[in-house]
Amino acid sequence: MDVLTQSLMDSFDALLESVWFELTFLVVVALFAGFLFARFGQPKVIGYILIGVVIGPSLLGIIGPGEDPVDGVTNGVSPLPETIMMLAELGALVLLFMVGLECDLRKIYTRMSVSIAIGGVIVPWVGGFGVAYLAGYTIEAVFIGATLVATSVAVTASVMSEMGLVGKHISNAIVGAAVVDDILGMVVLSIAKGMGTGGGIDALGLALLIIGAVVFVVGGAWIGTRFLVRLVFDVQIRGYKRKLPLSGFTLALAIAFLYAFVSELIGISAIVGAFVAGTIFAGSALRDGIRKGTQYLEALFVPLFFVSLGVVVDLGAMWNTIILGVSLTAVAIVTKVVGCGLPAWLSGMSKWDSLAVGVGMAPRLEVALIIAYYGLSTQLIGADLYSVVVFMGLVTAIISAPVMKRVLVRGGHALEGI
């Protein structure tokens, strides 16, 4: 019996070496998790992340730890094949593109959103630095504080989409602040790089990053609404005449990828570019058709993205720093609730909506991992601190989604997903 079991396990491991079988496996388990969590009225995004943890190196180990050595250290950064990781990243782009389709830029980039974002940067950075410093870290504390800055807009946007709140006032405030947050997160990373390497802060580089980000968001939106929307519309009309009905959708998606590329080129997250690309089609006559086509991509690639976030977690690697992990997670949540919720309340939002903004800004995953991995790859932090950041990101995402949903319902937003 033991021989038979071992043989079956070896055969399964051999199958998992095939990218196509692994992709099949991940899609099926994501579908199962979505059904399970929807059955109990919980956000599906949490089910996707948790199933990733279960099948990853933390529990069952079906998807093994990654071989991404930094001075011989296997740290679990890339437990999935590069092809699947690219498809997962595509899921994040698709999700933010869809959110952008529902958003009016004029209602998103407001004084309220900027004030929420600034509060959500300063307070968490100071709080994260303080926790790490009290734990005995010095230079590393700068990086730990930086990982608490940027909100995981993908997690928040997913919950908003489930509840049918995308395009509403509270969603505009959260998504707008989260996108600004991501941009400021890259600024904070630049500061942390200079302080961590001892090279000082590159003021010129920071200025260019900020200017480039502002020019990209404003200029990209203007060029898109003025020229690219018209181009897509013309291509769609010509496509219909030549029996190519998806021509406009295809070009719109290509523009989203181009914006993501330019966004990364500037030095900010690719998902910001995808979001801006979505906003330029928000007022287009083709919006509904583009959204319908994108929904099919969302059904496949977005769950894959969230499952991959769970798979990278290796809880065993952070066992010796569990107290720091729990402390950092608590500070990460409290500082976002205070740093973002208070400006929202002072800007005229109700008590419950302000709390929802704070909780909605609490998840940290994508940008936090980018910052932490830079510190790991340059030996400014060790594998233990990297695992602490991954743990913090996962737990903030898991806790924030259902809490935000409850707060929104308490505030009177009992909508589609409830």
Residues 235-264: pLDDT tens digits? 999 988 888 888 889 999 999 999 999 988
3-class state of residue 277 by DSSP: helix
* 73 found inside a domain: yes
The domain of 253 spans 2-410
The residues near 371 (Cβ < 8 Å, ≥ 6 apart) are: 143, 146, 147, 149, 150, 185, 188, 189, 192, 389
* 25 found inside a domain: yes
Count up the domains in the chain and report the number: 1
Give the per-residue pLDDT at 333: 93
Is pLDDT larger for residue 232 or for residue 143? 232
Q: Which CATH number is 258's domain given?
A: 1.20.1530.20
Average pLDDT over residues 5-23: 63
Per-residue buried b or exposed e for 239-265, using 16+ beta carbons within 10 Å of the residue's own CB: beeeeeeebbbbbbbebbbebbebbee
* 415 found inside a domain: no
Rg (CA), the chain: 21
Strand partners, 73: 70
The type of residue at 88 is A
pTM above 0.75, yes or no: no
How many angstroms separate the CA atoms of 386 and 392, rounded?
Answer: 10
Tokens linked to 14 = 């051999």
Is pLDDT larger for residue 106 or for residue 69? 106
Residue 70 pLDDT more than 70?
no
Tokens linked to 204 = 């010129």
* 196 found inside a domain: yes
Q: Report DSSP letters for 95-148, one per residue.
A: HHHHHHHT--HHHHSSHHHHHHHHHHHHHHHHHHHHHHHHTT-SHHHHHHHHHT
The candidate with the shortest Cα–Cα distance to 156, out of 416, 403, 391, 409, is 403
Instruction: With cut-offs at 50, 70 and 90, classify the pLDDT of residue 11.
Output: low
DSSP summary character for residue 66:
P
Instruction: With cut-offs at 50, 70 and 90, classify the pLDDT of residue 149.
Output: confident
* 146 found inside a domain: yes
The residues near 162 (Cβ < 8 Å, ≥ 6 apart) are: 43, 44, 45, 416, 417
* 217 found inside a domain: yes
Is pLDDT larger for residue 6 or for residue 204? 204
Taking the alpha carbons at both ends of the chain, their separation in whole angstroms is: 48
Task: State the alpha helices, DSSP H only, in 267-321.
Answer: 270-280, 287-311
Average pLDDT over residues 298-311: 84
The type of residue at 371 is I
Neighbour-count burial of 335, counting CB atoms closer than 10 A to its CB (0-12 exposed, 13-18 middle, 19+ buried): buried
* 418 found inside a domain: no
Q: Which residue has the tokens 């593109």?
A: 97
Tokens linked to 392 = 């913090």
* Mean pLDDT score of the chain: 79
* 417 found inside a domain: no
